[in-house]
Amino acid sequence: MDDRHRNLLAAPPPEMKKPPNSKSSYYQTMLIGSVCGILFLTVMIVALLYCFIKRKGHILKCRRSSKGAEDEKSLKYDKISLRRFGLEELKKATNNFSPDCLLGSGAFGTVYKGTFELEGTLAIKRAHGESFLSKAEFINEVKLISKVKHRNLVSLVGYCEEPGGGVQMLVYEYVPNGSLLEYMMGKRGKSLTWRQRVNIAIGAAKGIAYLHEEVKPSLIHRDIKPSNILIGERFEAKVSDFGLIKSGPTGDQSHVSSQIKGTPGYLDPTYCSTFHLTTFSDVYSFGVILLQLISTRPAVDPKKNKNNSHIIDWARPSIEKGSIEEIIDANLLCEPCNMKVMLKMGQLALRCGAQVPKHRPTMAQVCQELEESLQIADNLICKLPSKNFSKSSKTFQELTESEALKSIENYDCSESFISINGVGFQKFLIDMDRLSFRSENLRCLENNSISIDTDVNTLRRIQEDEAMEK
Ligand SMILES: Nc1ncnc2c1ncn2[C@@H]1O[C@H](COP(=O)(O)OP(=O)(O)O)[C@@H](O)[C@H]1O
Ligand SMILES: [Mg+2]
């Protein structure tokens, strides 16, 4: 065999020929491929995870923001233990909001009497038209007042939601004897006795004191006035209408800053000038009510001059000199009345109306002082105008309650003009909460009035003559 053939035999066939390190490069390729694969997979997983987390975050964000938007309109997310009424249910209960069921109307809504199978009689407040403002007040009221319960506060029973969320109507306990304003306007027949007036003041003070002192953080009503004090079954006062209610200061805060809201005449002037709201702003409004309970006068009388158009300025001089008879509602003069209690109430009212809020008593103090004077009054001395009574006179006949009652039996207080012991009284026109009306109450005629000598018999004669002429 020649060398060429030997070489050929020794050399492997070309196709069988392997590079000297082929095995390791194969493993190298495999390794690189696997690493790349793993890297690719990791990147993919990370990218997927990133997308997933981002999407989830977006969903959560969307959910949160839509809940927030709903929150403003709906009460679903609040822990409110109120009954949700259906619109149809309320329509049925009020005979489709029939005018016959109308209980009253205010700045924010109309209130209807509703009869329910389970709950009996309830009061339903419907916002005026589509008023956004009314509905905002409604939500404020539900959120702040739903957990508040006190016998001198009208309790909120439930609400009715609009189809797209938002509060459409509020449902309250029904208070059967109207509002204090109706009594002041003489719409409810006989005028209130002095004792009823003091009891109403005590009840309302207790309700407000509860909001200020028992609820945490305190609640400031901001709309204390006669139309928002309702009269219950046993003639107890029930404070209502919490549309303007606001949480009071907390911790070290001395006040909360707030837009001015309320009713002219009852609005605390210090709150108006500083925008600083405290519980003492309600105390000021309550002082105005105390004076109205004594005198049955409007909070602001535009017919008077600027210096005494407000009831506090008008009543102050008489109260400070102790002459409560100068400002007292004449109806109280033709029935037994404890003048000492009335004077105490007047003095308390002036303290409630002090210019510096901190100089005013708290509602709990108001309550206590009123209750104390009522206790003292139980050793009652009743007073009636004497024969020589005149507006500026302080001479009163002191009688026991039964004697006094006997002595007024002959007077008919429903007449327009009457004469008691030679003193003439007359019904009068007043403006109250922007309404002008002829009061059922009586006011002592001015000394120089020619009608002062007019007695019931003369009047009857005049009326008979007039009737004959017709
Ligand atoms: N719970 C109730 N029971 C009986 N009458 C009511 C009740 N709530 C309100 N009213 C009557 O409706 C009137 C207006 O109600 P209110 O809540 O003060 O409305 P607004 O917020 O519009 O002032 C009241 O003055 C009262 O005569
Ligand atoms: Mg009201």
pLDDT for residue 193 is more than 90: yes
Residue nearest to atom 21 of ligand 1 (CA): 108
Cα distance between residue 241 and residue 239, in whole Å:
7
Q: How much of the chain is helix, strand and coil, in % rounded to 5?
A: 45, 20, 35
Number of H helices, E strands in the chain: 13, 17
The tens digit of pLDDT for each residue in 227-246 reads 999 999 999 999 999 989 99
Residue nearest to atom 19 of ligand 1 (CA): 106
Ligand 1-lining residues (CB < 6 angstroms): 103-109, 111, 123, 125, 154, 172-175, 178-179, 227-228, 230, 240-241, 243
Q: Half-sphere exposure of residue 248, counting CA atoms within 13 Å on the CB side?
A: 21
- Beta strand ranges found along 130-259 (DSSP E): 156-161, 167-173, 219-220, 229-231, 237-239, 246-247, 256-257
Ligand 1 center–CA 154 separation, angstroms? 10
The tens digit of pLDDT for each residue in 389-408 reads 333 333 333 444 444 444 44
Cα distance between residue 107 and residue 227, in whole Å:
11
The tens digit of pLDDT for each residue in 406-458 reads 444 444 444 455 554 445 555 555 555 555 555 555 555 433 332 222 334 44
pLDDT for residue 387 is more than 60: no
Phi, psi dihedrals of residue 401, rounded to the nearest 5°: -60, -45
pLDDT at 358: 95
Q: Average pLDDT, whole number, for the chain?
A: 77
Cα distance between residue 131 and residue 343, in whole Å:
44
- Position 415, amino acid: E
The tens digit of pLDDT for each residue in 255-280 reads 888 788 889 999 999 998 999 999 99
**Which of 112, 113, 122, 125 to probe ligand 1 with, by most ligand atoms within 8 A of CB?**
125
- Position 273, amino acid: S
- Position 320, amino acid: E
Token pair for 19: 């590079």
Active site residue 301: no
Residues by chain with Cβ below 5 Å of ion ligand 2: 106, 228, 241
Ligand 2 center–CA 73 separation, angstroms? 23
Closest Cα to residue 217, out of 260, 259, 246? 246
pLDDT at 143: 85
Contact 422, 308 (CB under 8 A): no
Closest Cα to residue 430, out of 323, 311, 312? 311
Stated pTM of the model: 0.70
Q: What is the largest CA-CA distance in the chain?
A: 172
- Which helix (H) or strand (E) segment holds residue 62: the answer is helix 22-73
Ligand 2 center–CA 286 separation, angstroms? 15
274 Cβ neighbours under 8 A, 6+ residues apart? none
pLDDT at 398: 41
Could you give the domains of the chain?
Answer: 83-173 (3.30.200.20), 180-380 (1.10.510.10), 390-469 (no CATH)
pLDDT at 399: 42
Cα distance between residue 154 and residue 124, in whole Å:
12
Token pair for 292: 């109205």
Residue 197 vs residues 34, 181, 193, 200, 339: alpha-carbon distances, Å:
95, 12, 6, 5, 13
